[in-house]
């Protein structure tokens, strides 16, 4: 007997390969998937602006990347905690304007160079609720714990999201005709919106994506939200806050993601890398023993063979790690 409803995964004719260039924008779920892709040696740029939740902020981040925007002090604000950008996550904030700008512009410069060559643009929306600054009406990506009186909070409409992305997707398609865009809706529930408000928000996002898919064949959708809500509805699949997916849930969604987009060849490459990764994490009793030196030498050979087979793999750090250990 089957005691759960299983979400039907998309039957994709396209696949994600290690040779592809991937860029991710969006919520902390985008970070989860992005970090798993990086751990498995896919070529990824994960959240050049840090975590962003709403569709308009994600769209603005992509537009700024496409326009090679350079931030200056006028784009920041200062409070007792330091210097911040309303478009960026707190990880970009600094004790001085110079420190904050260095982080922002260095990261933005790398993303701007990568985006025109990107094969997959993955976008994860978290909420349709947005906060706009009262002084200029601009939607912020992060409020940085500023007083509520500075913002106006409202729910985006499906039409508003679709209109914003019609122009953006057209621009991306003209820049890179081979680009594929993969949308997901974050399975993380936003309790501050209330449970009903959260459902209205997620429904708005889902309807907007469905509309975009019908107009742009370049757009794809992966049902991470549905997997969490329907297959993993038991609270044992949630973190302690009862709103975020647990590591087990993320692992399961990652497996579904792989079943949808990874070929058997890609999974074999991931298996080979996993063996090397486990070897690199091995903690010997005696780092100076001949047995361990022989073990490290074999790992170096495996890394070298992998680099020869897949020249786009970034393996320099792992090689240096082994070589440093061999010098002990």
Give the C-alpha distances (Å, rounded to integers) separating 26 from 54, 83, 273: 8, 22, 27
Confidence band of 293 (pLDDT split at 50, 70, 90): confident
Q: What is the mean pLDDT of residues 283-290?
A: 82
Query: 144-171: per-residue pLDDT in tens?
Result: 999 999 999 999 999 999 999 999 999 9
- Say what the pLDDT of residue 194 is: 85
Give yes or no for residue 233 having a pLDDT over 80.
yes
Query: 36-94: per-residue pLDDT in tens?
Result: 999 999 999 999 999 999 999 999 999 999 999 999 999 999 998 899 999 999 999 99
What proportion of the chain, given as a percentage, has pLDDT over 70? 100
- Say what the pLDDT of residue 321 is: 85
Give yes or no for residue 28 having a pLDDT over 80.
yes
Bigger pLDDT: 324 vs 156: 156
Give yes or no for residue 173 having a pLDDT over 90.
yes
Give yes or no for residue 127 having a pLDDT over 90.
yes
Give yes or no for residue 284 having a pLDDT over 90.
no
Q: Which domains does the chain have, with CATH numbers?
A: 21-262 (3.40.50.1110), 271-326 (no CATH)
Mean pLDDT estimate for the chain: 93
**pTM of the predicted structure, to 2 decimals:** 0.93
Quick one: which of 61, 113, 68, 129 has its CA closest to 92?
61
Give buried/exposed letters for 182-220 (b at 16+ CB in 10 A, else e). bbbbbbbbbeebeeebbeebbebbbbbbebbeeebebbb
Asked whether the CA dihedral 301, 303, 305, 307 is positive or negative, the reply is negative
Confidence band of 327 (pLDDT split at 50, 70, 90): confident
Confidence band of 285 (pLDDT split at 50, 70, 90): confident
- Say what the pLDDT of residue 191 is: 80
- Say what the pLDDT of residue 27 is: 92
- Say what the pLDDT of residue 155 is: 96
- Cα-Cα-Cα-Cα torsion 251, 255, 256, 257, nearest 10 degrees, comes to 100
Query: 89-122: per-residue pLDDT in tens?
Result: 999 999 999 999 999 999 999 999 999 999 999 9
Give the C-alpha distances (Å, rounded to integers) separating 188 from 127, 158, 247, 251, 295: 9, 20, 13, 15, 42
Q: What Rg value do the Cα atoms of the chain yield, rounded?
A: 22
What proportion of the chain, given as a percentage, has pLDDT over 90? 77
Give yes or no for residue 320 having a pLDDT over 90.
no
- Say what the pLDDT of residue 287 is: 78
Give yes or no for residue 12 having a pLDDT over 80.
no
Q: Exposed, middle or buried by CB within 10 Å (0-12, 13-18, 19+), for 119? A: middle
Query: 178-215: per-residue pLDDT in tens?
Result: 999 999 999 998 888 888 989 999 999 999 999 999 99
Confidence band of 264 (pLDDT split at 50, 70, 90): very high
């Amino acid at each position: 007997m089957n005691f759960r409803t299983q979400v039907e995964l998309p039957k994709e004719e396209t696949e994600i390969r290690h040779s592809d260039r991937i860029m991710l924008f969006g919520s902390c779920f985008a970070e989860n998937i992005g970090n798993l892709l990086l751990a498995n040696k896919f070529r990824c740029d994960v959240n050049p602006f840090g975590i962003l939740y709403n569709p308009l902020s994600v769209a603005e981040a992509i537009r700024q990347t496409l326009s090679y925007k350079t931030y200056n002090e006028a784009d920041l604000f200062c409070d007792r905690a330091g210097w911040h950008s309303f478009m960026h996550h707190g990880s970009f904030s600094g004790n001085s304007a110079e420190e904050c700008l260095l982080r922002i512009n260095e990261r933005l410069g790398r993303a701007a160079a990568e985006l025109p060559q990107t094969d997959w643009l993955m976008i994860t929306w978290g909420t349709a609720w947005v906060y706009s600054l009262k002084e200029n009406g601009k939607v912020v990506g992060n409020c940085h714990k500023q007083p509520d009186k500075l913002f106006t909070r409202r729910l985006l409409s499906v039409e508003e999201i679709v209109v914003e992305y019609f122009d953006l997707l057209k621009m991306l398609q003209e820049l890179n005709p081979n680009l594929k865009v993969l949308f997901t809706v974050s399975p993380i529930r936003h309790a501050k919106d209330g449970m009903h408000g959260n459902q209205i928000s997620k429904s708005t996002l889902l309807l907007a994506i469905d509309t975009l898919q019908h107009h742009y064949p370049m757009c794809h959708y992966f049902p991470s939200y549905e997997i969490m809500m329907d297959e993993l509805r038991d609270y044992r699949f949630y973190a302690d806050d009862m709103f975020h997916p647990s590591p087990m849930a993320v692992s399961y969604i990652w497996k579904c993601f792989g079943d949808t987009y990874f070929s058997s060849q890609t999974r074999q490459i991931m298996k080979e890398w996993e063996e090397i990764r486990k070897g690199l994490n091995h903690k010997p009793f005696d780092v100076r023993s001949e047995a361990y030196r022989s073990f490290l030498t074999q790992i170096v050979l495996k890394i070298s063979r992998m680099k020869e087979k897949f020249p786009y793999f970034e393996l320099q750090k792992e090689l240096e790690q082994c070589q440093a250990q061999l010098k002990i």
